[in-house]
């Protein structure tokens, strides 16, 4: 019984992610790796460690017609694991992300490669 309670406590907190909505990323691993263009993050799911990236991991869904929409095959983006993505800084270079306090005392994300804020 105590073990189950401990597992529930572990799942309460979502991890701190280095990628946010609106960031520019490239895919560095997985089936979508061959598409090395810079893409934008549409949505992030912190509890699942996944993100939806524009034009990446597109799936086809067969949808029934309803009163408001027409049926058919709809293409829909699926989430991709965050470990397969790498953030791109202002110089269009892939970089790792660090955190540092600025003059105001706020934590800001910085590029490990150039040291610039993201």
Which H or E run includes 45?
strand 39-45
The model's pTM is: 0.74
Beta strands 107-111 and 50-53, pairing class: unpaired
Contact 92, 38 (CB under 8 A): yes
**pLDDT at res. 46:** 86
pLDDT at 33: 79
The percent helix, strand, coil of the chain (3-state, each to 5) is: 10, 40, 50
What does the pLDDT read at residue 60? 93
The closest of 80, 15, 14, 75 to 42, measured between CA atoms, is 80
Average pLDDT across each block of 10 residues of the chain; the chain has 118 residues. List them in order: 57 73 89 81 90 91 89 91 90 87 88 84
Looking from the CA of 51 toward its CB, the CA atoms found within 13 Å total 26
């Amino acid at each position: 019984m105590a073990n189950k309670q401990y597992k529930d406590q572990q799942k309460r907190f979502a991890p701190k992610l280095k990628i946010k909505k609106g960031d520019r990323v490239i895919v560095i691993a997985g089936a979508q790796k061959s598409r090395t263009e810079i893409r934008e993050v549409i949505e992030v799911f912190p509890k699942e460690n996944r993100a939806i990236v524009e034009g990446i991991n597109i799936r086809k869904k067969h949808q029934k017609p309803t009163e408001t929409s027409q049926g058919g095959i709809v293409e829909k983006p699926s989430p991709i694991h965050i470990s397969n993505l790498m953030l791109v800084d202002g110089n269009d270079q892939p970089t790792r992300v660090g955190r540092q306090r600025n003059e105001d005392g706020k934590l800001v994300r910085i590029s490990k490669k150039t040291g610039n804020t993201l």
